[in-house]
Structure 1
C-alpha cells in the first residue's frame, strides 16, 4: 500500500507540473526523436489506458447530474461540437493549410473535451460537477459526432470512412470508459487502487502520445511548424473565448462560464492523435500533438488567472460584514 501511496503522490506532482513536463518532452522528442519511435505502433493501447482512467473517475451517480441540469450540459455539448469544428475549418481555409494538416486540425476540433479540463476547472474555481458532466456527455456523443463532423468538414479533402472511425472510437474510447465505470461501481477495491495509479499513468500516456507524434514528424515540423503553431493557437484561443461568450449569452454564472470555456477550448488530443494515425497519416496527427502541448499551457495560464481573480473577489457576506463595521 505504501507503493500505491507513493505512486499517487507522484501522479499528483506530475499533474501539477504537466505543462512543464509536456513542453520538456516535446523538445526532447524533437531533438532526440529515436527515443519515442516505439509509441506510434502502440497508440491505441496508450489511449485505452487513458480512457479507462477517465471511466474509473466517473460514478454512475454522476450521470444523474445530466438529468438534473440538462440546459447547462446541452449548451456546453452544443458549443463543444459546433464552435471547435467550425473554427478549425475556418482557420484551415484562412491560412490555406496543407491537406493533411487541415484534416488533422478539423479532427482535433471534432473530438470531445479533454480529460484534463476537469482538473483545470477545479484550479479555475469553476463548477467542477458541470465540467465532469460535460466531459462525460461529449465523450459518449463522440462515437457518432466525431466521424460525422469529420466527414462533413474534411470530406472535401479526403474520403472519410464513417463506419471505420465510429468503430475505432467505440474500441479505444467507449469500451475502456464503460469498463472503468463498471470497475468503479462493482470492484471498489480495484477502483480505489486504480484511482490512485491513474493520474501518473495518464500523465505518462499523454506525454508519450505527444512525444510519439513529434518524434516521427520532425521533418514536417521544420517545414510547417510556424504556420501550424499559428493555426493551433488561433483555433484554441477562439475556442476558449467563444465558449465563454456562449455561456454568458445563455445567462450562466461566472463559475459555469469558466467551465464551458475550458471544456470547449480543451480537446481530447490523445483521441485525435490516434484517429489521425489509424485513418490518415502521421502528418495529420501533428496538429493534435501541437494542440495538446499548447492547450495545456494556455489553459493552465487561464485557470490560474481565474483562480487569482477569485481570491481577490469580495464575497457578499464579507462585503456586508465590512460595511457593518
Structure 2
C-alpha cells in the first residue's frame, strides 16, 4: 500500500472523489454480483453445506487490498481502486454478516472497530503516507520506487500461501472500467478465512475462501498483464 501511494499525489486522491458514479457502481456490483454468484454456483454444483457456506461467505466479503496492486499493474485508476476498497471494507461491517446470514442461513459476526482500524492501518494510512512522500519528497520516492513492485508481489504471494497452508489438509481432502472489474472480482479472501474459522463450526468452510485467495491473485495477475500491454482508452469526451 505504501508503494501504491508512492505512485500517487494528494491531488490524485482528491480527484478520485470527483467520481462518485464509479464508486457507487463498484459498491453495488460488489455486494450484488459476487454474493449472488456464490449462492447460485453453490446451488448449481450442489455443494456440501460447509463448502457452500464458505463460497457464499467469500462472495460477501469486501474487495481485497491485492486488487489495488493488480489495478496498478493493469494501469487502472489506483486512487479510485483504493477508495473503492476502503468503501467496500467499511461497508462490510454491515453488508458481510447481513448478506451471509440471508444467503447462507448463518450469522457471521464482524468486529466493526477492528475492521475499521485494519482498514485505516492497511489501506488508507500507508497510501496517504506514500502520496505525501511522492508529493513532497520525490527524490526519495524515485530512489525506492523500483523496489516496491517486487516487494508487493512477494508480500501478496506470502499472504496467499499462508492462507492456503492453513487449509492444506482440508484442500487435499476435497481504467475506471478496469478498476471496477478488478475491485468487484477480487475479494478479501483472507477475511473470509478468518471469519469462517472463527464463526463456522466446520473447518472445511474456510477451504473455498483459501482457494479463492490464490485464484483471485493468479487470474487477476494474468488479466492485469494482458491489460498492461495496452493503455486504457481515453473517455469519449476527451477523444472528441
TM-score (norm 1): 0.56
Alignment correspondent of 1:211: 161
Q: Equivalent residue for 1:283? A: 204
Decide which of 115, 126, 131 is 1:169's aligned counterpart.
115
As a proportion of its length, which structure holds more helix?
A: 1
The C-alpha deviation readout for 1:174-230, integer Å capped at 9, x for no partner, is 5655665786799999xx99x989877765654444334433433422332xxxxxx
Per the alignment, do residues 115 and 222 of structure 1 end up closer, same or farther by CA in structure 2, a change over 3 Å counting?
A: same
Question: Kindly tell me: are residues 186 and 69 of structure 1, through their superposed partners in 2, closer, same or farther at Cα, counting changes over 3 Å?
Answer: closer
Deviation at 1:298, TM superposition (A): 0.9
Q: Report the CA distance shift for 1:167/1:218 in structure 2 as closer, same or farther (over 3 A).
A: same
Question: Quick one: distance in 2 between partners of 1:298 and 1:55?
Answer: 20
Task: Answer whether contact 1:110 1:146 (CA < 8 A) is retained.
Answer: yes
Question: Secondary structure of the residue that 1:68 maps to in structure 2?
Answer: coil
Match of 1:81 among 31, 35, 58: 31
- The answer as to 2:189 corresponding to 1:269 is yes
Alignment of 1:186-205 (within 5 A): none
User: Which of structures 1 and 2 has the bigger CA Rg?
Assistant: 1
SS in 2 for 1:96: coil
Whole-Å Cα distance in 1 between the matches of residues 122 and 162 of structure 2? 22
Point out the more displaced range, 91-100 or 120-129.
120-129
Q: CA deviation at 1:136?
A: 2.3
- Taking a change above 3 Å as real, the CA distance of residues 213 and 98 of structure 1, as seen in their structure-2 partners, is farther
**1: CA distance, partners of 2:128 / 2:179:** 27
Is 1:131–1:263's contact at 8 Å kept on the other side of the alignment?
yes
Q: Does the residue aligned with 2:196 lie in a helix, a strand or coil? A: helix
Tell me by how many angstroms 1:87 deviates: 0.4
Q: Is the 8 A contact 2:86 2:123 kept in 1?
A: no
User: Is the 2:167–2:210 Cα contact (8 Å) retained in structure 1?
Assistant: no
Q: Are 2:51 and 1:130 aligned?
A: no
Give the aligned partner of residue 179 of structure 2. Answer: 259
CA distance in 1, matches of 2:38, 2:21: 26
Distance 1:121 1:132 in 2: 9
- Structure 1 portions without partners, runs of 5+: 1-51, 225-254, 317-325
The answer as to whether partners of 2:86 and 2:119 remain within 8 angstroms in 1 is no
Q: Cα RMSD over matched residues?
A: 3.7
Instruction: Return the offset for 1:118.
Output: 2.1
Mean Cα deviation higher: 257-266 or 282-291: 282-291
